[in-house]
Structure 1
Amino acid sequence: MSAGTVPELEPLQPSLARPVAEVQLADLCERFESLCANAVDPLEIAAGLEAEGFSDQSVRVGFGFPDVFALAEDLHRRVPPSPAEPAPQPDPWRTSVWRHALRGLLFGLPSLCYPVAAPLLSTVDAVPLLVVSTIVSWALSQGLSYLGYARLGNVDRDGARRVLRLGLLGALVLLLAVVGLGAALAGRIGPATVFAAGQGGYLLAATVLFVDRGERWLVAGLAPGVLAGAVFLALGAPDGLRGGALAAVAGTPLLTLGFALGRTSWPAPKAATALRWTELRATWPYLAFGAIAAGLLAFPLIAMLLVPSTAGGASNAMLAALPLSLSMGAAEWLLHRYRSGTRRLLQRTRRVEDFAARSWWQLVSTVAWYLLCTGVLMAATRELGAAVGISPQWTGMLAYAACLVLGGTLFLALLLQAFSGPAAVLPWAGGALAAEVGYVMFDRTASVLRVQLLVCGGLLIALVLRAGVVLDKPARHR
């Protein structure tokens, strides 16, 4: 058999093949218009042609090209690229502002329990126990949050509940051991020890309920202590009602712990992966971040220990932290709003330089909104404190600025942690806390508020610059 006996194998005559091939190519362009218009490379067209059954031999015979790749390159030149925009996807960061407002209230309402316990917190051993309880419970709650959200991120709700339940029990045992040891070293285990342990236990249980979306149970657990504290303050803090109010306050951590354990135990989680060593090892940056953030927040109490002349009452110091606690709800909402805005920015911009410039202004505006919200909450808290006869620890612009700068620092640290993990802010925050403590120890006559303003102001500037470098890269926002 020779080429002359098989017409399909005869070479194409240039005079006849070219017009026929042009017609066929025009038909091919029309047939594969969508493929060619959306392709960013001829290889995509070649793959599509081969998927439709085109081979090198059929391309040589039918179109006069040596192989499929040559035909794909010709089609790529003939059909101008016009990629279709993908269908709009739902924004995963859209959220209800009211949900975050509720969470902000849940963050801040426990502060109403502190004036009821003022006599317990006025003893010599109260301040160090409160500091220890705050730092340990914040650290452990950050670790619990990481473990729970990591399992939820892998769509393992049963595993998350199991980890949260076991983690809560383990963290509670560790907290009680540390607080008990601190009380033993102080030489006295009394009501302040119980209050410090209850404060830490409540925070751990509340963390579990937040992660597991059990806010309604948290409201029920908070109700006795918050209602008793509100009524007690509204009536002028009469000593005759303090005993009953203290009993109601004591019920809050017990109820919250019960709800947290019950919610993570029933219905019984199915067989879930046991807690792995790699998961535990990955929690250390979160533990460290929680401890450092608590240290920055509790710095006035730490200063009381280092410089007793600065003492102004532990209950007063805790009430001073109320607007920052309330502002965490606004911080969560603004973080979602920022991520939603950068997502839209990714869709609208075509050049990396444009995204970097616009994302910088979006970051600055988000921080400004947070500072505005916190300033309003500070003013409202001051008025509320004055109405019930308690003056928070700010009476002038210096105190306002120190509190605002601290809030902005914590907000930026949380924002950076959400994008690149806590390790990105640990050196900065840890250095700031060490600088505050070192400054007060070196100059025992220094103003605590001035130290806090100077150090946290420097930290805020450093974190803004750091965030500008980290968050101007589009890959961070995908």
Structure 2
Amino acid sequence: MSGPLRLLPGDGDSLPVIPRPRTRTRARPSWAEDPIDELAERLVEQVAVAVHPYEVAALLESDGLTGDQITARYGRPDLFTLAEDLHARVPRHYPEPPPAPDPWRPDHLRCALRGLVFALPGLAYVLGAGLWQGTADVSGLIASALAAWAWNQALSHRAYLRLAAGGKAAAGRTLRIGAPAGALGAAATGLVVSGPGMGAAFAAGQSCYLGAASVLLVLGRERVLLLTLLPVAAGAGAGAVQLWQLPAALAPVLLSATVMLAVVAAGHAIHAALRSAPEAAGITPKLLRSLPYGLFGLAAGVLAALAGADEPRSVVVLTLSMGFAEWLLYRYRSLALTALRESTSGRGFVLRAGRALAYCLSAYLAVLALGSLIAGVRPAPLLGLGAVLWTALLLQAFSLAWLPAAVTLAAAATQASASLASLPLGPAQLGCCTAAAAVLIAAACRLLGRPTAHR
């Protein structure tokens, strides 16, 4: 077959074009559309967060759908079938919960005020330097201060416990008895060590002030305490800038004025606390719970006194840093709470909590290093002491008190023994504080790396 085959008659050789029927796109009739799509679009936000079709069923029922409407309009036999269909059509979407308020957000002004009231009392020793003479008076002052620090640390802890359990009235009752008893005991300690004289009188004033300051700090009267320090600050400041020569008889007057103002303010604060409305009586905490805090206060005082014997200006730097140290304690608790909220595994939380600890401790040590450079003291012993004190305070903030008390007591006893043996204070302090800091940091990483510690 060599030629084309004609299938139809015609003149051309090509195949004829067969006309095809014209197609027209018609809109889908309304009766053919699935009304469940419209329902899913209308309820998409509520259905997307449902974790079970029963929640969707409850939503539809609250929307007023009846069994007849479900059958006639949506073509489903019952409510639960329609709910399962909607739950399957809408993808799950669970929005993040709104950020919760941070209960550990640092109060910058309060921390700054507390830093001032921690640092300014040191001016009293500058102002009253000529009032005591000989090593006996100095020993009496140190012994009185150590007794006051130990007692007031334990008293403050117990007062805070009573404040949480029974309100300000319960804390006021504790402070009304504990503060005078501690001041009397510390003053008696100074008198026994130094004997009668101006040194014993200064120790008595120091004891009264420390007891009153503890009362005001527990009851949140930092501003009042700062005002009581104005006489001492004004006298020491005027002498420092050499505005005028301070008469020798004026120093005891200014010191006594500060002590009297602090005592009167503490008495007024206790009276106001006792008159406050009593809260529901809670369980009275045992005295033994406050013992490790007192032991830590004694050990910290011994470490600070030994550091001051070797480098007096290091104690000034340490005292000035206390406000920032307290701010960092709040900052760590805030960072740990954020880590607890964002972590999805135990290992992740351990890493985040460890980073928070490293960040806060490094920040505090950086401030101490800067202060040591400005004051011209050796930074290594001061950094070791600062690491011990800050880490111990951090563990105490989580009610882990016996371990830091035992470690700091061991460091203080070892360093005191080295001092009595006439060994160099600098290397002894560096070795003791470095070892104690290593133990406390390791304990903090282990104990605070558990999520249950941050509840």
TM band (smaller chain): 0.7 to 0.9
Q: How does 1:65-214 map to 2 (within 5 A)?
A: 82-153=93-164, 159-160=167-168, 162-183=169-190, 185-186=192-193, 188-214=195-221
Contact 2:156–2:218 (Cα < 8 Å) also in 1: yes
Between the aligned partners of 2:413 and 2:58, the Cα distance in structure 1 is 62
Question: Which residue in 1 is equivalent to 2:397?
Answer: 418
Matched, 1:406 2:395: no
Superposed, 1:66-465 pairs within 5 Å as 82-153=93-164, 159-160=167-168, 162-183=169-190, 185-186=192-193, 188-235=195-242, 241-266=247-272, 269-272=275-278, 279-281=284-286, 283-299=287-303, 301=305, 317=312, 320-381=314-375, 394=377, 397=378, 400-441=379-420, 444-465=421-442
Structure 1: gaps of 5 or more residues: 1-22, 53-62, 305-310, 383-393
Instruction: Give the distance between the partners of 1:251 and 1:128, measured in 2 at CA.
Output: 24
* Structure 1 residue 265 displacement after superposition: 1.5
| 1:321-346 residue CA offsets vs partner (Å, 9 max, x unmatched) | 22212211101111222222233333
Range with greater deviation from structure 2 (27-36 or 369-378): 27-36
Provide the rounded CA distance (Å) in 1 between the counterparts of 2:263 and 2:275: 18
1:28/1:468 CA distance change after superposition, 3 Å: farther
Deviation at 1:252, TM superposition (A): 1.1
Q: CA deviation at 1:350?
A: 2.2
Aligned equivalent of 1:6: none
Question: What one-letter code is carried by the residue in structure 1 that aligns with 2:436?
Answer: L
**Aligned residue number for residue 387 of structure 1:** none
- SS in structure 2 of the partner of residue 88 of structure 1: coil
Number of equivalenced pairs: 415
Q: 1:177 offset after TM fit, Å?
A: 3.8
TM superposition shift of 1:76: 8.6
Alpha-carbon deviation of 1:474?
A: 2.8
* Aligned residue number for residue 27 of structure 2: none
* Distance in 1 of aligned mates of 2:206 and 2:106: 30
Distance in 2, matches of 1:165 and 1:152, equals 8
Q: Is the partner of 1:93 in helix, strand or coil?
A: coil
- Amino acid of the structure 2 residue aligned with 1:454: G
1:29, distance to aligned residue in structure 2 (A): 9.3
Which amino acid in structure 1 is aligned with residue 219 of structure 2?
D
Distance across 2 between alignment mates of 1:146 and 1:293: 11
Q: CA RMSD in A?
A: 4.1
Report the alpha carbon displacement of residue 188 of structure 1 after superposing the two structures with TM: 1.8
**Is 1:468 equivalent to 2:445 in the alignment?**
yes
CA distance in 2, matches of 1:127, 1:274: 47
What fraction of aligned residue pairs are identical, expressed as a percent? 30
Contact 1:129/1:179 (8 A) holds in 2 = no
The alpha-carbon deviation at position 273 of structure 1 amounts to 6.0
* Cα 1:206/1:260, change in 2 over 3 Å: same
**When you count helix as a share of all residues, which structure comes out higher?**
1
In the alignment, the residues of structure 2 paired with residue 104 and residue 187 of structure 1 have an alpha-carbon distance, to the nearest angstrom, of 31
Q: Is the 8 A contact 1:168 1:205 kept in 2?
A: no
Alpha-carbon distance, 1:414 to partner: 1.0
CA distance in 2, matches of 1:403, 1:351: 37
Counterpart code for 1:179: A
After superposition, the Cα gap between the structure-2 partners of 1:353 and 1:288, relative to the gap in structure 1 and judged at 3 Å, is closer
SS at the partner of 2:272? coil
Note if contact 1:133-1:175 (Cα within 8 Å) is conserved in structure 2: no
CA distance in 1: counterparts of 2:238 and 2:225, whole angstroms: 20
Q: Judge which range, 449-458 or 175-184, deviates more.
A: 175-184
CA distance in 2, matches of 1:329, 1:132: 25
C-alpha change, 1:76 and 1:212, in structure 2 (3 Å) is farther
What does the per-residue CA deviation read over 1:26-56, in whole Å, with 9 as the maximum and x for residues that have no partner? 99999998788657x879969979x98xxxx
Unpaired runs of 5+ in structure 2? 1-33, 63-75
Q: Which one has a bigger Cα radius of gyration?
A: 2
Assess if the C-alpha contact under 8 Å between 2:299 and 2:408 holds in 1: no
Distance in structure 1 (CA, Å) of the matches to 2:236 and 2:209: 16
| TM value normalised by structure 2 | 0.75
Q: Could you report, residue by residue, the CA deviation over 1:266-325 in whole angstroms, capped at 9, with x for unpaired residues?
A: 38624526998x6352x5444433443443343364699xxxxxx67xxx84x5422212
Secondary structure, aligned partner of 1:91: coil
Tell me how far 1:376 sits from its aligned partner: 2.5
Please name the residue that 1:7 is paired with: none
- Compute the displacement of 1:411 (Å): 0.7
Structure 1 pair 94–347 and aligned structure 2 pair: CA distance change class (3 A): same
8 Å CA contact 1:139, 1:291 repeated in 2: yes
What is the alpha-carbon distance in structure 2 between the residues aligned to residue 271 and residue 341 of structure 1? 35
- Distance change (3 Å), C-alpha of 1:88 and 1:250: same
Q: Are the aligned partners of 2:162 and 2:284 in contact in 1 as well (CA < 8 Å)? A: no
Give deviations 1:419-458, integer Å, cap 9, x for gaps: 24323422222222222233334xx121122211111111
Equivalent residue letter for 1:465: A
2: CA distance, partners of 1:275 / 1:186: 42
Contact 1:130–1:196 (CA under 8 A) maintained in structure 2: yes
TM-score when normalising by structure 1: 0.72
